[in-house]
Amino acid sequence: SQQGEEDPQALSIQEGENATMNCSYKTSINNLQWYRQNSGRGLVHLILIRSNEREKHSGRLRVTLDTSKKSSSLLITASRAADTASYFCATDGGDSSASKIIFGSGTRLSIRP
Amino acid sequence: KAGVTQTPRYLIKTRGQQVTLSCSPISGHRSVSWYQQTPGQGLQFLFEYFSETQRNKGNFPGRFSGRQFSNSRSEMNVSTLELGDSALYLCASSLGTAHSYEQYFGPGTRLTVT
């Protein structure tokens, strides 16, 4: 089964609005990463957040991590058409298998003009 | 700096055959990981190589194998192909271990098994 599960599975918003995606995972982690995948640029790394960090920003992206709830969220502000893509969270397996990266099932984000 | 390259980009094989996929990482990157992506199972970790050593392996049968060369280039091999092996195979490289460093993905190899 997947370590990380994104919610919602699909999201459609108007250009300019904010988009929030959530990721829940099952075991303890060392790091959590967010990736974006679209047909034009393939799979691209967005942000890596470590287990001792609570929030991280990169441009219009904001990631939070709550290890007590085993969850993370990705906020994209002022969305653009180019943000249309699938977004995945990826976690390591915790102490027992730290090297193994486990991807969630993804959130498909569509930006309406 | 050149990105991660994968060859071939597309491949059609018949059940029972074997296939070898190649990945050239970004210069200076020592870790190469392989993933299988299918509509049904999503992105699944195959294995990671670091300095020619396999660091970890996902839950795939022994028909899936890989190796890394001294120049960090990596190959993965799938023997006795099954229809269910049809997928996009992605390779990623990173400076250090995949779970602690940003991974750079190649465009993938689309494998179709008939």
Average pLDDT, chain A: 90
Is the bond preceding residue B8 a cis peptide, omega within 30 degrees?
yes
Higher pLDDT: B102 or B16? It is: B16
What would you measure as the largest C-alpha separation in chain A, in angstroms? 45
**Which residues in chain A have their CB less than 8 angstroms from residue B47's CB?**
none
**Chain B CB contacts of A92 below 8 Å:** 99
Contact A97 B56 (CB under 8 A): yes
What percent of chain B lies above the pLDDT cut of 90? Answer: 88
> Cβ of B42 under 8 Å from any chain A Cβ?
yes
* Chains A & B: contacts with CB separation below 8 Å: 56
For residue range B45-76, list pLDDT tens digits in order.
Answer: 999 999 999 988 999 999 999 999 999 999 99
Are residues A19 and A79 in contact, defined by beta-carbon separation less than 8 angstroms? yes
For B102, nearest residue in chain A (alpha carbons)? A45
The DSSP bridge pattern shows strands A19-25 and A4-7 to be antiparallel
- pLDDT one-digit tens code per residue, A3-33: 678 889 999 999 999 999 999 998 888 899 9
Torsion of CA B94, B38, B22, B67, to 10 degrees: 70
Which one of B33, B100, B105 has the shortest CB-CB distance to A31?
Answer: B100
Per-residue pLDDT at B9 exceeds 90: yes
Q: Output the pLDDT for position A100.
A: 79
A47 — pLDDT class (breaks 50, 70, 90): very high
Residue % of chain A over a pLDDT of 70: 90
